[in-house]
Homo-oligomer: A and B are copies of this chain.
Amino acid sequence: MKLKNLAILLTCGLGLIGNSSIADATFPKSPSEIVQEAPDSDWVNIADDDLVIITLSNGKKFSFQLASQFAPIHVNNIKKFIRAGWFDKAAVNRVQDNYVVQWGAPENTPTPENIVQNPPSEYDFPLRGLPFRATPYRDAYAPQTGHTNSWPMASNGRNAWLVHCYGMIGVARGLAPDTGNGGELYSIIGHSPRHLDRNITIVGRIVSGMENITALPRGTGDLGFYVSDDQKLQFKEVKLASDLPIDERPHYQVMRNNSPSFASWLNARANRGGPFFTKPAGAVDICNAQAPIREK
């Protein structure tokens, strides 16, 4: 199995001069060692029907997982947009440094049939019934943070909500909360703008190829929008994995947040050991604790 994606990259921050390969029995295991050694039983498959694969016009790809459990109305819209070819006409139209990369179809693109045009906001969920597991660590924004089915969430003890971490995907909208239908999406590419939590519906997270959209030139217009069409990176094809022939589907797994490996990994993220660190933080914020994802 090959380790991939931003969640793994996040675990690589052991040293700055290239000492990630140092392993020494006198030091506790690093986060990346724990991920490497996690048994298959500590991982869960990302469903084919929740995996979106984007091929860009430059031949590069990225993929994301839909949060169908949390934003079913928006996610259903997005699947309809995909199957109608809407996103095949899309392009990256905005890259604002330390904030978001955003994509959508041109304004005159006809909306497919059966799209819910003004879906209700899907921000907040009753905590009761969710398998939410809080971390023991403090958060700057919410009384508690933790994971539900390996998604990063915050909670006030009554409700829980997905949080705007690096790589999370949200629904661009206008001023009214119900004005985003899922045909225009963005991903976070900077320090996590947690003030967007409970203000925008989150519909997914990047699973692979994040580096293919984070290194795009920043837009020079207001809010990082590109000022001309020729600056926009076109999409070539967008598919649900479940619509691909079985032998062409990529497969990813996320580490179960109720697994022994996850507990070790979270602890190691909060208490960096090894030869490099002199003062472990004793803490980790939720956006530095996004569940590891790997290619199966």
Residue numbers of A with Cβ under 8 A of B are 6, 9-10, 12-13, 15-22, 95-100, 102, 121, 123, 137-141, 165-167, 170, 172-175, 177, 186, 190-200, 210-211, 214-218, 222-225, 269-270, 272, 275-281, 283-288
* Contact among B22, B140, B167 for A285, CB-based, below 8 A: B140
Chain multiplicity (copies): 2
Chain B residues near A12 (CB, 8 Å)?
96, 99, 223-224
Separation in Å of the A227 CB from the closest CB of chain B?
12
Minimal beta-carbon separation of A272 from chain B (angstroms): 5
Contacts of A20 in B (CB 8 A): 222-223
Distance of A95 Cα from B215 Cα, bound (Å): 10
> When the two chains form their complex, are residues A140 and B16 in contact, meaning their CB atoms are under 8 A apart?
no
* Residue contact A195 to B141, C-beta cutoff 8 Å: no
Contacts of A17 in B (CB 8 A): 172-175
A279 touches B199 (CB 8 A): yes
Q: Is the CB of A194 within 8 A of B99?
A: no
A15 and B215 contacting across the interface, CB-CB below 8 Å:
no
Q: Are A285 and B97 in contact (CB-based, < 8 A)?
A: no
Most chain-B Cβ atoms within 10 A of its Cβ — which of A97, A174, A211, A280? A97
> In the complex, are the beta carbons of B141 and A283 less than 8 A apart?
yes
* Docked CA distance A218–B140 (Å): 30
B200 touches A16 (CB 8 A): yes
Excluding A9-B224, A98-B167, 17 further A-B contacts by CB distance (< 8 Å) are A6-B97, A9-B99, A10-B99, A16-B223, A17-B174, A18-B225, A20-B222, A97-B210, A123-B279, A140-B284, A140-B285, A190-B190, A194-B281, A194-B285, A195-B270, A199-B277, A215-B215
16 A–B contacts from the bound complex (CB under 8 Å) = A6-B97, A15-B174, A16-B100, A16-B102, A17-B175, A97-B210, A97-B211, A121-B278, A165-B191, A166-B191, A177-B278, A194-B285, A195-B280, A197-B281, A215-B215, A215-B216
- Given that A99-B9, A137-B140, A279-B198 are contacting pairs, would A217 and B218 also be in contact in the complex, using a CB cutoff of 8 Å? no
Query: Closest CB-CB distance, A3 to chain B, in whole Å?
Result: 12
